Chains A and B, each alone.
Chain A
Amino acid sequence: MSARLNRVRLRLRDLAAGAAFGSLVISWQLPSVLLLLAAAGFVLALFDRRPFGDRHLVGGVFLLLAGALCFGMVWKGPVDLVVGACCFATLLTLQRMLSAPGPAVDAQVNLASLLMVAGGGALSGDLLYAPMLALYAVFSILAMGLGVVSATVAPGTTFPLRRVLLPLSVGAGLAMVLGLTFFILFPRLSWNMAGGRVSTGLGPVTTGFSDQVRLGGSGSIKSNPRVVARVHLSPDPGDEALNRYWIGRTYDTFDGVRWTAQSTPVETEGQIRLSHGGDRLIHQEIELLPAYGARTALALEAPSLFGGAVANTHKGRRRTRMQRLENSEIRFEREAPGYDYHAYSLPADVTREVPALTTGDLDRARSLPADLDPRIPALAQRLLAGEQDPLRAAERLARHLSTRFRYSMELPGEHPDALSHFLFERQEGHCEHFATALTVLLRTQGIPARLATGFFGGERLGDDYILRAGDAHAWTQVLVPGRGWVSVDATPPAFRSAQPEPFLTWLVDRYEALEERWCNSVVDYDIRDQWAFLSGMLSDRERHDVLAGEVVEARPRRALGMGLGAFFGVLLLGWILERRVRRPRSDPATRFHHRLRRTVQRDPTIGAGLARGVPIEELARRLRQTDHPAATPLDDAVRRYLEARFGSRPLGAREASQLLQRLRSALGTAARSS
């Protein structure tokens, strides 16, 4: 067997296994130990180090231990059955890959890799699965093809690798086209029960709400352009930038360093009503993506009703109830990577219900840290100058902070009294500093206020709005008699929404757009899409979807014709190209002979003498006998042709042109003289 062929085959086999493993990794569900072990194994395999070799006993013991470990993990509960099976498939691939190669071992590695890819499909709906699957397909097709050929290569012989790689590469492309065709046309006999977007995609989650807000640290999240939520608003405001507050949590207790809140559930229902709205509520159809990373439900300020929540888990879509916490936070009961739900909010101009606050609530909304810097109340007193109206006082303080203080995300180091440091020394900070300062300043004057966290912004994308991780924001809510909690923001307006790098935003947007298309076209493709696709190909008219009761976009019948035309066109083109490529090209001597005959036949004086079937040598002999001026150049050309054709003396293109040029000149001279 050719050593090079064998080496390339093994490398491709191992790369295919690596791609299959990658399809599992992107689900972020495999245990870290397994990730490290598998990574080390793949590196060893790529360097052609195979420690198991022919030690079948050691390999068997390894597999036994692997099986026991995976069974134990499933039994004890850290992983579910699917993840456990994927772990075992990974360890099986690893063990086979690190054993001595052979036809049977190769087949086992390929099939175990296939199990990993199937496991990846079951665990992840991420966009990255597509390139992993494509890489696996290409590598495994090449490896399997080379494996078949290498079994028939005689020992010690060399093999033209390129000859076999070319058809295999074309085959890999064709297999993917066929795969897509099958994907589109394979009848969907069941509804898509798989979960929606459950993979975090570009790394770990970034915006998870926590039970406390610790003042200090850098605000690097503001530069993160990842999309964490998609919202469809009804009625559609139509604005490109929504610039609205999306509230998630509020905090009412501040100890000088961190904000906390009462987070005991007080109500768990499928639908949570916070206030009565009326008929002008803003309906929000919200999808929280896995990058969001929290169980807290968002809604436009001021939320009125939550409901219809569905958790997108790794095992599929599951309905979930919602919980109302003491601090008015709404939380999903089931933990999942992503959620779909509906929320209704009151428009800004609608008079809201004033919440019934207990004495405890009011006390917490006025509480101050025990060791509050005395300069802070003095500052509030000086700035307010006796202003008693809570809203006007809050707006005055907010105006002062947003104009006199600078926004900065570069805040190195921790300070024991971060608030005083912000107000009196550094005078720059991010939204949490501004919001905390405003809240505490208000509280020093006896005005109830609390810290609210959520998002600020809303960027138009098609018919929906998106929220980015960088839109995460903190602001102040002040209790206004007769109006309830009213948001007042001390952060400079330009810095309230995301501050991402333009190029990074562009990149992430492209990725998100691709992912959106991937989700719509592949992950969420169902029997309705299939029905619409097929009937759209066959129908001219707009029609009603019998399954969904919706009007489906009409597609002209010519689409079918165009599709068929394109298909046959590609076939025809391939056929022509194949004939052209495979047609044996005549050798240079023969081409020279044809040109020589054409040159002579075009000449009016001697051309008639070179009829079909007459050898050009015969004509040259006749010209020599008659002392024709072109006899010598023709003789030279004929002799040179014979040498090139039968004498193994190659004829270059330049020499051929020169010979023909001499002949043409001589023929021209002869014509002029006659």
Chain B
Amino acid sequence: MSSPAVSAPSPAFGQRLWARLRRPDWPRRLKVTGTGRTYLMVTLGVGIGALNTGNNLLYLLLGLLLGVIVLSGLLSERVLRGLHVERVGADALHAREPGTFRWRLSRERGHAFAIEVREVHAELTGRATAAILGPGRSHVLRGQVTAPRRGPLVLEAVDVSTTWPFGLFAKSRRFPIPGEVLVLPARIRVRGEVPRAHQGLAGEDGRARFQDGEGDLAGLRELADGEDARRIHWLKSASSQKLVRAERDREERQTVELVLETGPSRAALDRRCEELAAQARTLMARGIEVGLTVGPVRLRPSIGPAHLRRLLTALARAGFSTPPVTREVA
């Protein structure tokens, strides 16, 4: 999956200036830290003392303090310039639960220090930090993020900030990277009884012997045209010099069809999704195949991590009509 990387502004000064003039938001944001506030207060006090007394040593100290402030701006700018950022995303992000989120950062020249990365989204809190980023290679930063609710979150930008070099100011740069993260329903305990499973032979008919079963070996025969190559018994094929396929019995399967009723309020729907997700997880842990019907969408009963992921994704998207416009990262 290709990922949109954002690099430093274009090298041409005119273009850069024009881009800045056109953009209503300034490309850097500055926030004074707690230490910085005290530092500024002391600087102000020294300045007032210098002005009041004319004491040149206080002016000298004031000059140094102002120099440190200017230097802070210069060095932090060096860190944020020439930075390439890419959103890698999360494997599985559940609502109300910290999940690992990844970003890939790289820079061509110079080292960057004390980097902090976070998503610009009100509902996605959490950050990743890096003490040092070397030049010429990419670094994957992992951070723990939390979303309060399930569903797709439309991401617009990644915020990279640094308190380098003195921790007086936190300067940040915003990289506009559109994307989406899908927050899966929160993991909760199953409340009450889980639905009773339907027990029986699964498949297109109820015969015990069915050539596409997963049970015990029932026989061997030559592979016919168009049959699934995954059924080939390779040991026997090698010994008989022809492709031989295995026939296996169908197993008895326990299945549960879960149904998500659409229509209730968003809060009720969220609770129902979490409940169904918990039931699906519990049922699968017991070896029961789980199917799901969400409105017109129906997922056939199956089992396994990939199917569980499909169920959770369907539950996460339930009630949200907005399709994933750009890129799903979770």
Contact = CB atoms under 8 A, between A and B. Distances in A.
B35 A164 contact: no
Interface stretch (A184-192, A274-282, A480-488): A184-192
A164 B163 CA distance: 14
A121 B57 contact: yes
B224 interface: no
Contact of B67 (A147, A151, A152, A178): A178
A118 B61 contact: yes
Interface residues of A, number: 60
A167 B131 contact: no
Contacts of B292: none
B132 A163 contact: yes
Contacts of A137: 64, 68
B66 interface: yes
A148 B42 contact: no
A120 B115 CA distance: 36
Interface stretch (B46-54, B144-152, B310-318): B46-54
A120 B46 CA distance: 12
Contact of B109 (A145, A147, A182, A582): A582
B185 to A, nearest CB: 31
Contacts of A523: 56-57
Contact of A193 (B53, B65, B167): B53
Nearest to B163: A148
Nearest to A521: B56
Which of A141, A154, A182, A522 has the most chain B CB within a 10 Å cutoff? Answer: A182
B114 interface: yes
B136 interface: yes
A115 B45 CA distance: 10
B68 A141 contact: yes
Contact of B58 (A118, A145, A159, A177): A118
A652 interface: no
Nearest to B165: A145
A242 interface: no
Interface residues of B, number: 49
A110 B168 CA distance: 12
B113 A175 contact: no
Nearest to B142: A154
B129 A178 contact: no
A552 interface: no
A188 B62 CA distance: 12
Interface string A180-209: 111100101111111000000000000000
B39 A111 contact: yes
Given A121-B60, A149-B132, A141 B42 contact: no
A190 B52 contact: yes
Contacts of B35: 107, 110-111
B67 A176 contact: yes
23 contacts: A115-B42, A117-B61, A118-B61, A121-B58, A133-B57, A133-B60, A148-B114, A148-B167, A152-B129, A152-B130, A167-B113, A168-B165, A174-B71, A174-B74, A175-B68, A179-B63, A183-B60, A183-B63, A186-B63, A192-B55, A193-B55, A522-B56, A522-B60
Interface of A: 107, 110-111, 114-115, 117-118, 120-122, 124-125, 129, 133, 137, 141, 144-145, 147-154, 157, 159-160, 163-164, 167-168, 171, 174-183, 186, 188-194, 316, 522-526, 582, 584
Given A133-B60, A177-B67, A526-B54, 9 more contacts: A120-B57, A121-B55, A122-B55, A144-B166, A149-B164, A152-B113, A167-B75, A167-B111, A175-B67
